[in-house]
Amino acid sequence: MQALELSHPGPVTEPRLDRVERPTPEPVGSGPTGQILLKVRACGVCHTDLHIVEGDLPLHKRPLIPGHQVVATVEAVGAGASGLKVGDRVGVPWLFSTCGLCEYCRRGEENLCDRAQFTGWDVDGGYAGYLLARADFVVPIPLVFDDVAAAPLLCAGIIGYRSLRLAEVHPGERVGLVGFGASAHLAIQLARHWDCQVAVITRSPAHRRLAEALGAAWTGTTDQSPPWPLDRAVIFAPVGALVPTVLAKLRKGGTLAINAIHMSPLPEMDYNLLYGERTVRSVANATRRDAAEFMRLAAEVRVSVETEVFPLERGNEALLKLKRSEIRGAAVLMPNE
């Protein structure tokens, strides 16, 4: 099979992914850990992929096939894998597996499991023709979404949904979204479905225009403020300096969620920005429950997904455009048939 392989992380201003031929993998394991072989139909390109390829996140295996927003069909079912049959269409998200035994797993916080493994980081991902997954960690894809539209839902959508939940967004509130890439352009549609007023802060004029088209009540840059204090906010950009900037726009008792697996250092700031029972919390990964809930909600809302499609061999170009904020919505790689 064809695949894009990462061996030497570094800035994507130079191509980092090598196009290689690999043997098609075979499912292993048995019982609840039994694997399935999946044929990739589409794979979204995520900011986390960019962090892995550039070395912001250390490689957990080398060489590595990145990619964790994978729409695929079941090609073979390994021993003990149940609930799926050949030909089923499924999604493979970031969370590949957990131990199922630790205190976090037992408390329903499997996203915090210390022995969790992640698709396209601990195991090979979807920048390839085929990949392996655990049958009990894939998610059904609603029929209303085609392969390209479904791919960004599997991380950008799921983690955006979790971010809104952890920001404690209630219907009708004033919500700020800071940074407006793949995840935020999906999250705004959920917030609007809940009748929230949404303010979008982004440096990109094109992203501000997209936000307005998707129902933003106000758009601007970090040196501007919406005409009303925010009840809740989510930072999607991996820029620590944004934390005090956004807190200054948040009402007393409001919540700021930070949706970033990697972030530049948070600066020293005036305590008064936090005082008044404001809450700041990080968003770490997502659970299978998040995935199932979001996919059902996305189908109900009929979430519209803006995508730019690249053939697999142009993966390096897609990552560079993502780094430069030149993608409108989300980038999606399509494998060669």
In a domain, 288, yes or no: no
Give strand ranges (E) for 78-140.
89-92, 95-97, 117-118, 130-134, 139-140
In a domain, 327, yes or no: yes
CB 247 within 8 A of CB 270: no
CB 326 within 8 A of CB 205: no
Whether residues 141 and 216 fall in one domain: no
Whether residues 171 and 72 fall in one domain: no
Backbone angles phi, psi at 199, to 5 degrees: -105, 130
Whether residues 138 and 165 fall in one domain: no
In a domain, 176, yes or no: yes
Whether residues 54 and 128 fall in one domain: yes
- Four-residue CA torsion sign, 173, 177, 97, 130: positive
Whether residues 116 and 191 fall in one domain: no
| Distance of alpha carbon 85 from alpha carbon 87, whole angstroms | 6
Q: State the burial class of residue 33 (Cβ atoms within 10 Å of its Cβ: 0-12, 13-18, 19+).
A: middle
Whether residues 174 and 208 fall in one domain: yes
In a domain, 298, yes or no: no
In a domain, 289, yes or no: no
Q: Under DSSP, is residue 47 helix (H, G, I), strand (E, B) or coil? A: helix
Neighbours of 107 (CB within 10 A): 9
Which residue segment(s) compose the domain that 78 sits in? Answer: 2-145+305-334
Q: Which helix (H) or strand (E) holds 176?
A: strand 174-178
Structural tokens at position 28? 């292993």
In a domain, 201, yes or no: yes
Whether residues 117 and 13 fall in one domain: yes
Whether residues 140 and 17 fall in one domain: yes
Whether residues 225 and 174 fall in one domain: yes
CA atoms within 13 A on the CB side of 309: 13
pTM of the predicted structure, to 2 decimals: 0.94
Residue ranges of the alpha helices (H) in 107-200?
147-150, 156-166, 184-193
| Number of domain units in the chain | 2
* pLDDT of the chain, 337 residues: tens digit per residue: 999 999 999 999 999 999 999 999 988 766 566 899 999 999 999 999 999 999 999 999 999 999 999 999 999 998 777 788 999 999 999 999 999 999 999 999 999 999 999 999 999 999 999 999 999 999 999 999 999 999 999 999 999 999 999 999 999 999 999 999 999 999 999 999 999 999 999 999 999 999 999 999 999 999 999 999 999 999 999 999 999 999 999 999 999 999 999 999 999 999 999 999 999 999 999 999 999 999 999 999 999 999 999 999 999 999 999 999 999 889 999 997 6
Whether residues 111 and 185 fall in one domain: no
Q: Find the largest Cα–Cα distance for the chain.
A: 58
In a domain, 295, yes or no: no
Whether residues 325 and 195 fall in one domain: no
Residue 8 β-bridge partners: none
* CATH number of the domain bearing residue 252: 3.40.50.720
Whether residues 128 and 37 fall in one domain: yes
Query: DSSP of 17-32, one letter per residue?
Result: EEEEE-PPP-----GG
* CATH number of the domain bearing residue 57: 3.90.180.10
In a domain, 207, yes or no: yes
